[in-house]
Amino acid sequence: MAQFQDVSQKSTLHPKPTGLVLQYGTAGFRTNAKQLDHIMYRMGLLATLRSKKTKATIGVMVTASHNPEEDNGVKLIDPMGEMVTPAWEGYATQLANAEQEDLLTALKDIIEREAINMNQEANVFVGKDTRSSSARLSQAVLDGVSALGGHSKDYGLVTTPQLHYMVCCQNTQGRYGEATVEGYYRKLSQAFIQLTKNVPNRTDDQKHLSVDGANGIGALKVREMEGHLKRELQISLFNDGTSGKLNHQCGADHVKVQQKAPTGIEMNTGERCCSFDGDADRIVYYYSDSAGQFHLLDGDKIATLISTFLKELLTQAGLDLKIAVVQTAYANGSSTHYLEDTMKVIVTCTKTGVKHLHHAAQEFDIGVYFEANGHGTVLFSKTAEQKIQQLAKDPNSNDERKRSALLLQNTVNLINQTVGDAISDMLLIEAILAIKGMTVQQWDTIYTDLPNRQLKVKVSDRRVIDTTDAERRAVSPAGLQEAIDSLVKKFRQARSFVRPSGTEDVVRVYSEAETQESADDLAHEVSLAVYRLAGGVGDEPKPLH
C-alpha cells in the first residue's frame, strides 16, 4: 500500500539507532533528547493508529516534565483526555524498539491485532513544552502522523494539561469546552471569578500569589492567562524562563524533594508561594514563617483542602454524593489519619503513577486524587454533575442550598478533570482560601506532617524488587519485607516502604517517623537492607547524620 511506502520512506529521515531499547515508562518515554527522534516519529504513527481505532482525536505531548532541559519525552493522550490505556503502552514500546527494517512488520502487527480499519480517518493533536529540542521532536511526531495519512493540529507551546483538555473538548463536541487555548482561559477564569466575586473584603494582599514557573511552559501560560483574571488574582511570576534554566533549582519537583524554596523567588514572611513543574501538571505551595522557617504544602495538603471544601459544600447543599480521596503510599500518614478520622472521608491507596489514581477516583461520585508530589485533580461522575446542576437550577431550594450548588457548579467548571493541572489547581486553591477566608498558615495547620525522608539506592537490577498492597509491602527479594518490618518497630509512629522507580534506574526508599532524626535513621537503615538484599552497586549507603 502507498501508505506504508510513505511510512518507510519518511522513517529513513528518523532512523532508529541500532540496538537502542527504550521503555514506555510511568508517564511515557523519557530520556536524553538526542535519542528520541525515531521515538517521536513512531509515536506519530501510533497515535494515528489509535485515532483510527477509537474513531476519535488523540493527543501527543512532547515534554519531559520535571527532567533537566537536555531530556525530552512524549506522553500519549486518549480520547477523553486521559492517559493512554496500558495495552497501548505495550504497543508503544514494541514500535519504539523495532529495528529500522522491522518497523513495517511491527506496525502491521498492531493493525492486525487491533483489527484497525486503515480507511478510517485519523486526527491527532500535538503540543510541546519549551525545551530547545521540542520543536524538532514535535515535527517528527507530525511527520509520523502525515506518513499514515492522518490529520494533525499543532497546538505549539502548551502545558501538558492544556493538551489533555483540548483532546477532551474535541471528542465531546465542545461539551467540555472549546478546544482552543483561549477557550481554556475563558472557562477557567470565568469559573474563578464567579467563585470569588461574592467574597467580602478581599484585599490586594489576599489576592496576591507568587508563582515559580520553573522556567518552563507554565510560566508562559500564566502570563497569557493573567489578563483574563481581571486582577482578582494578582500574580508575581518568578523563573519565567527569560534568563534561568528549565527546572534548574526551581519547580515543584525540586521544592518537594529538597523541601526548600526555589532559587529566583522573592519570599516575604507569610506570603503564599507556589511552584509548577516543567510541563505544569504539578503544583506545590509553601511559605516562610516569621522565624524564616520554610513550610511546604504538598499534594496531601492540597487534597485535604479541596476535599474538606467539597464535603462542606455537599453538606450545605444537602446532596448525598460519595466523596473519596485517592492517595499513594507516599501520602504522609498524618494526612491519611486526618482525612479518615476527622473528616470521615473514604481514603484509598493506589500504586504510584497518575493513571492508577485517576482510575481509582472514577469509582466515586467525587474522587479527589493527589500524589504527594503535587499531581492531582478531582473527578465528578455524570450523576454528581447532574445532581449539582439540577439543584443550582431548582426554584424550590432555599438560599443556602442554592448558594452551595452554585459554588459546586463553578468548582466543577474550574477543575481540569482530564489530568492534574497546575494552573487549574492553583485557581481552585486560591478560590477556596478566599471563600474560607483562610491564610496559608491556617491551611498548613489543619494537620502536621510527620517528618519523612526519601532516599534512592542503586542496585544492579531494580526489577528484583516486587511489591504488593499498593507498593506498601515488598514480596521479593526474600527477607526484605521482614527486615523493613523489624526496622520500623524500632521507631515511634514509623512507616517505611521501598519500590523500584518507574522513571529512573534506582530503588526508592520512603520513611516517616515521629522525629526527623528517626525518619532519617530509618530511611538509612532500610536503604542498607535494600543494598544488601537486593544487589546494591557502588558504595554502601552512608548515614545521613
**Residues labelled catalytic:** 65
**Can you tell me whether residue 229 is helix, strand or coil?**
helix
353 contact choice in Mg ion, ligand 16G, none (CB below 5 to 8 Å, kind-dependent): ligand 16G
Among 11, 503, 511, 518, binds ligand 16G (CB under 6 A): 503
Q: Per DSSP, which regions of 363-517 are E strands?
A: 366-370, 376-380, 452-457, 466-468, 473-476, 495-500, 507-512
Q: Which does 271 bind (CB under 5 to 8 A by kind): ligand 16G, Mg ion, none?
A: none
Among the listed ranges 237-245, 338-346, 348-356, 474-482, the one in contact with ligand 16G (CB under 6 A) is: 348-356
143 binds ligand 16G (CB under 6 A): no
**Min CB(354)–ligand 16G separation in Å:** 3
Task: Considering only the stretches 118-126, 213-221, 425-433, 499-507, report the one whose residues sit in contact with ligand 16G under the rule CB under 6 A.
Answer: 499-507
Which of the choices Mg ion, ligand 16G, none does residue 503 contact, using the CB cut-off of 5 to 8 A by kind? Answer: ligand 16G
- Per 3-state DSSP, the chain is made up of helix, strand and coil in percentages (nearest 5) of 45, 20, 40
DSSP string, 287-321: EE-TT--EEEE-HHHHHHHHHHHHHHHHHHHT---
Query: What does each C-alpha distance from 91 to 46, 85, 221 come to in angstroms?
Result: 8, 10, 33
In the chain, the N- to C-terminal Cα span, in Å, equals 66
With CB under 6 A as the rule, give the number of residues binding ligand 16G.
13
Laid out side by side, the sheet with 323-328 consists of: 346-350, 323-328, 366-370, 376-380
DSSP state at residue 341: I
Residue 341 C-beta-side C-alpha neighbours within 13 Å? 8
Which amino acid belongs to residue 220?
L
Q: Per CB under 6 A, does 504 bind ligand 16G?
A: yes
Residue 281 within binding range of Mg ion, rule CB under 5 A: yes
- Establish if 502 lies at the interface with ligand 16G (CB under 6 A): yes
71 binds Mg ion (CB under 5 A): no
Residues 505-524 that bind ligand 16G (CB under 6 A): 508
What's the min distance (Å) between Cβ of 453 and Mg ion? 23
User: Cα(462)–Cα(464) distance, rounded to whole angstroms?
Assistant: 5
Instruction: Decide if 509 contacts 457 (C-beta within 8 A).
Output: yes
Residue 535's Cβ-count burial label (10 Å; 0-12, 13-18, 19+) is middle
Using CB under 6 A as the binding rule, whether residue 472 contacts ligand 16G is answered as no
277 binds Mg ion (CB under 5 A): yes
Peptide bond into 477 cis (omega under 30): yes
Q: Rule CB under 6 A: say whether 371 interacts with ligand 16G.
A: yes
Candidate ranges 230-238, 241-249, 351-359, 532-540; the one touching ligand 16G (CB under 6 A): 351-359
- CB nearer ligand 16G, residue 240 or residue 253: 253
Q: How near is the Cβ of 330 to ligand 16G at its closest, in Å?
A: 8
Q: Is 57 in the site for Mg ion (CB under 5 A)?
A: no
106 Cβ contact partners less than 8 Å away, ≥ 6 residues apart: 94, 95, 98
Around 158, how many Cα atoms within 13 Å sit in the side-chain half-sphere? 26
Picked from Mg ion, ligand 16G, none, the partner binding residue 397 (CB below 5 to 8 A depending on kind) is none
Residue 531's DSSP bridge partners are none
Q: Which is nearer to ligand 16G, 442 or 460 (CB)?
A: 460
For position 299 contacting ligand 16G by CB under 6 A, the verdict is no
Q: Is residue 501 a contact point for ligand 16G (CB under 6 A)?
A: yes
Q: Which is nearer to ligand 16G, 238 or 370 (CB)?
A: 370
Q: Which does 406 bind (CB under 5 to 8 A by kind): ligand 16G, Mg ion, none?
A: none
- Contact between 299 and 372 under an 8 Å Cβ cutoff? The reply is yes
C-alpha cell at 257: 524533594
Q: Are 501 and 423 in contact (CB under 8 A)?
A: no
- Per-residue contact track with Mg ion, 228 to 267, x per CB under 5 A? ----------------------------------------
- 256 sits near ligand 16G (criterion: CB under 6 A): no
Closest of 369, 331, 375 to residue 161, by C-alpha: 375
- Interface with Mg ion (CB under 5 A), residue from 51, 54, 57, 65: 65
Instruction: Check: CB of residue 28 under 8 Å from CB of residue 62.
Output: no
**Residue 279 interacting with Mg ion (CB under 5 A):** yes
Looking at residue 338, what DSSP letter applies?
Answer: I
Q: How far is the CB of 25 from ligand 16G (least distance, A)?
A: 7
Residue 218 in contact with ligand 16G, rule: CB under 6 A? no
Q: Which residues bind Mg ion (CB under 5 A)?
A: 65, 277, 279, 281
Q: Which residues bind ligand 16G (CB under 6 A)?
A: 26-27, 352-354, 371, 373, 375, 501-504, 508
